[in-house]
Structure 1
């Protein structure tokens, strides 16, 4: 009886060892841990940023009133000045599929210097624009982290002109002017928060008319119209919340 038990125990141990060995040879069915995927990028959100680049102010002067039957200023050129611009901005985007809608405000200082022209009367006509700003809508199309867009809206400019002659000086239009602006740009999201971009915008502002008394062969009135426009190409760095 003990011999039977001993043989049975030995057979059972051998069978269990064989099953264990076969199980060890089977391919592992362990499930690999899932690799966490980064969240998909979205353009939706508020952002703030800075911009800097090239700026041009263009002042077009048109002759106005006459003196003694002749135009006091026979012709006036367009006064262009190239320089730099630097400013701050803030906005909001909302993404629907690949369409991105948003709004933006900005303000920038213009470092373009003064424009000067000497009229036939001997007067110096000086124009200077200190800063510009805008409130705009944006419509963009996103290719994941890259987006192209168009923008347009209301523009503001602090334009100042001065007419200086012998013994007198007249301030001409030291005020804020309204206008419109249109442009386009492209942006790339370097990370989920930092965005770099490049933008071009053209702005045109309301026309202003200046008149002032001056004596040229007798008393008379000199007048001219001033039309201001700007071009800007700026690099942008944004932080999206």
Structure 2
């Protein structure tokens, strides 16, 4: 009797094993999809168009007669430089900070109506430190930006070699906006527009006018720029 029971058990186990082998295998779970985020540090470069517009007005007049200055037109040029920053994304909202430093190939000339001299205003470089507020749509980031701006601007008289306003750095403010697009998880490109305005500077014309005295000037300076950007996000 025991032999029959053992034999029946072996048959049952064999049948169960064969039935289990015929069952379809369970497919493996798909790997989780990594969602893109703008959070992280980044480095990059920029290249584009810039327009400077320095304007002169007569300030204090020292022992002399009124002195007229006619302003020239604004000058277009090229801006090129480097940028670095950090973004933090929460949902679709992106907060960040960015700094940039760029060389400029622009300048503009103004004519003094009495002496016949030329006043040349030459902007050599500029930079900024800005906050950014953006809205992310997948790999696209739309943003506005604003903060402090800096510029190196020199005013001189080419015919005499005299530097009228010195070669100093001036502070100001800048605002703008743009769009960045990440074409991989690390690389992005974009385009940005900014308007910048810098603090006014006053200086004295170094040569007495008709032996009557020295002339005080005030220079106002603002810029417009459109730049293409490319960067790497860590």
Pairwise TM-score range, normalised by the shorter structure: 0.7 to 0.9
Which shifted more, 205-214 or 131-140? 205-214
Partner residue of 1:56 out of 42, 45, 51: 51
Aligned to 1:32: 27
Q: What root-mean-square deviation, in Å, do the aligned CA atoms of Structure 1 and Structure 2 show?
A: 2.6
Change in CA separation of 1:213 and 1:234 when aligned onto 2, cut-off 3 Å: closer
Does 2:212 match 1:192?
no
Q: Does 1:101 align with 2:115?
A: no
- Within a 5 Å distance, the mapping from 1:155-194 to structure 2 comes to 155-163=149-157, 169-194=162-187
- Which residue, 53, 56, 76 being the options, matches 1:82? 76
Query: What is the aligned length?
Result: 221
- Do the aligned partners of 2:204 and 2:214 also contact (CA within 8 Å) in 1? yes
Distance 1:115 1:122 in 2: 16
Q: Which sections of structure 2, spanning at least 5 residues, go unmatched?
A: 1-10
Displacement of 1:206 in angstroms is 0.4
Q: What are structure 1's unaligned runs of at least 5 residues?
A: 1-12
Equivalent residue, structure 1, for 2:195: 202
Larger Rg: 1
The alignment's TM-score, normalised by the length of structure 1, stands at: 0.82
Match of 1:149 in 2: 143
Q: 1:183 and 1:170, CA in 2 relative to 1: closer, same or farther beyond 3 A?
A: same
Q: CA deviation at 1:33?
A: 2.7
Distance 1:32 1:139, change over 3 A: same
1:135-176 per-position Cα deviation (integer Å, ceiling 9, x unaligned) = 0000001111111000000100011111356x6724313100
The answer to whether the Cα contact below 8 Å between 1:193 and 1:239 also exists between their aligned partners in 2 is: yes
